[in-house]
Amino acid sequence: MKKISRKKQQYFIRKSKKNFTSNKKREYKKKKKRLDDLQKRINEKRSRKFANNPNRVKHNRLTAPKNFSFLENLGETISFFEKATESFSNKTAVYFDLSQVENLTIETVTYLCAFVKNTKIVNSTPFQGNEPVNKTTKKMIIRSGFYDFVHTNRPQERIDDKYGRIINRVSRTRVEPELAGKIALSAIKHSYGSKDIKDLKKIYEILIECMANTKNHAAGNNKQKYNWWLLAYKEHTTKVTKFCFLDIGIGIFDSLEKKHKNNSLSKLFKQLFVPNDHLETLTNIFGGTRKSSVNLPGRGQGINHIYNNTQKENNIKRLVIISNDVLAEIGYNQENKIIKIDSNFKGTMYYWELNPNE
Amino acid sequence: MNKTISIANDFSTTPGARYRTDGKFSGQEFYEDILKPELDTIWNNPNHFITVDFDGTFGYASSFISEVFLRLSNDFKDKSKIKEKINFKSDEDPLLVDSVLETIDEKCES
């Protein structure tokens, strides 16, 4: 047998090691794919079983409060979603019992929609729910477009107003100025019977600021992007248009903290004696004196712009911002209310009303 | 000679956010594609001026305004000459002009 040179021997050893490693990697990938497919089939089977008969699958039945509203019943509403989150994280199926709900506000239905469509929260766990018995509330859910996003046995309804239903966009893609324009125009047409774009400037600017904030800040420092959800709900009887814009990201304050990491001793001391400087932070943001999270000139003016528009426009009523542990309520010619809440609201929610009656 | 750039007619009635990556009709797009080329043309000509007309749009995000005019200030440096060369027109929102002038005066970090 011919003797192989040392150089060639080393070459063959390296090549066989490389082949061995790449074969192992290939096997590992195949095995992982098989397991993932199997898990996916199990999840689908479980979801089908749960959909056919909830009693056949172990689940948590969560009863929504009668006053199911972040604006009017913040504590109980947040607690409801916290229980759902815990259930999903334990991979226990959830049955959302909305039958007892007598009052449901638009920001809550928007949040419910965003919540159940959030794959990170739901974690491939089956869920189901029922409708409120109360006719007004049931009608509101249908008109909001909630059923555009979930499977339902309900017959498909004719869509009269696509700009008055829940809209979802993945913010990895874009801020959508044309869509914001159409929504703002549709809103002033409903509330004021006007098509003059001079009347919608403040609404349009608020929408663009909200979209830009989500796209750029909902993920903190991560590359991951988040969805935004928007509902401009038109009340036929009162001509009021109620807006809700939200994302289930990390929230304004967690985002600022991530980008402005400051573990100095002075900050730690401050946290001991002034445990919640989020209130001060938001007050400074409203006043335009808070530095942006990226610390560059001309930045961080989005929320300040939203605040100023609300203060100047007497038709925009009751702007409410909920993020992390802060709730702020501001409006034209009224004193600001900025309070600490007991829970940590993950994400940011803006709610405001266009009210021609006041 | 005075050239008017109407954002509503020459760019979009729905101006967007800051960067091209944010979406359509961004401040960066307006500055790079419309405003800067015009200003480059007339910058050294003492008889030529530009009027930027903000009227006719749905409104402006703070990031749009700051991107356009901070870049302008950063690229052309001479702030008093910028204010001579460019007139700003905003009948629908007069306070917008003040905001633009403040942005031009803001110190830029490179």
Using DSSP's 3-state secondary structure scheme, residue A97 falls into strand
pLDDT, tens digit, 9 for 90 and up, residues A313-346: 777 888 999 988 889 998 877 788 888 888 888 8
Confidence (pLDDT) at A334: 75
Give mean pLDDT, residues A144-168. Answer: 84
- How high is the pLDDT of residue A116? 94
pLDDT in tens, A214-228: 765 555 555 556 678
Looking at the complex, report in whole angstroms how far the Cα of residue A180 sits from the nearest Cα belonging to chain B. 8
What size, in residues, is chain A? 358
- Cβ-Cβ contacts under 8 Å for A303 (sequence gap 6 or more): A209, A213, A252, A282, A285, A286, A321
Give SS3 for B54: coil
Q: How confident is the model at residue A103 (pLDDT cuts 50, 70, 90)?
A: very high
Query: Mutation test of the interface with chain B: which of A185, A186, A199, A204, choosing the one with the most B Cβ atoms within 10 A?
Result: A204
**Among the listed ranges A22-26, A168-172, A260-264, which one has the minimum average pLDDT value?**
A260-264
Q: Which of A117-131, A158-172, A246-260 has the lowest mean pLDDT?
A: A246-260
Q: Are A290 and A300 in contact (CB under 8 A)?
A: yes
On whether the CB atoms of residues B96 and A334 are closer than 8 A, the answer is no
How far apart are alpha carbons B83 and A286 in whole angstroms? 29
Q: Could you read off the pLDDT of A63-91 as tens digits, one per residue? A: 999 999 999 999 999 999 999 999 999 99
Q: What span, in angstroms and rounded, lies between the C-alpha atoms of A52 and A64?
A: 22
- Eight-class DSSP state of A131: -
pLDDT (average), residues A101-111: 95
Mutate: best of A194, A208, A285, A311, partner B, most B CBs <10 A:
A208
Q: What is the pLDDT of residues B91-106, one digit of tens each?
A: 988 889 998 998 888 7
Residues A240, A354 contacting (CB under 8 angstroms)? yes
Chain B residues 4-63 with CB within 8 Å of chain A:
12-18, 22-25, 56-63
Which residue matches tokens 């390296």? Answer: A14
Q: How many CB atoms lie within 10 A of CB A295?
A: 11
Angstrom distance (rounded) from CA B79 to CA A253 = 35
ipTM over 0.95: no
* Residue A299 pLDDT > 70: no
Roughly how many angstroms between the first and final C-alpha of chain B, as a whole number? 33
The pLDDT of residue A129 is 93
Tokens of A332: 């034209």
Residue B109, pLDDT above cutoff 90: no
Q: What is the pLDDT of residues B28-87, one digit of tens each?
A: 999 999 999 999 999 888 889 999 999 999 999 999 999 999 899 889 888 889 999 999
From the CA of B36, how many Å to the nearest CA of chain A?
A: 19
**Angle at Cα A217 formed by Cα A211 and Cα A222, nearest 5°?**
130
Kindly report the nearest CA distance between residue B67 and chain A, in angstroms: 8
In this model, does residue A180 exceed pLDDT 90? yes
Q: What is the pLDDT of residue A181?
A: 93
Check whether A211 has a pLDDT greater than 60: yes
Contacts of B71 in chain A (CB under 8 A): none
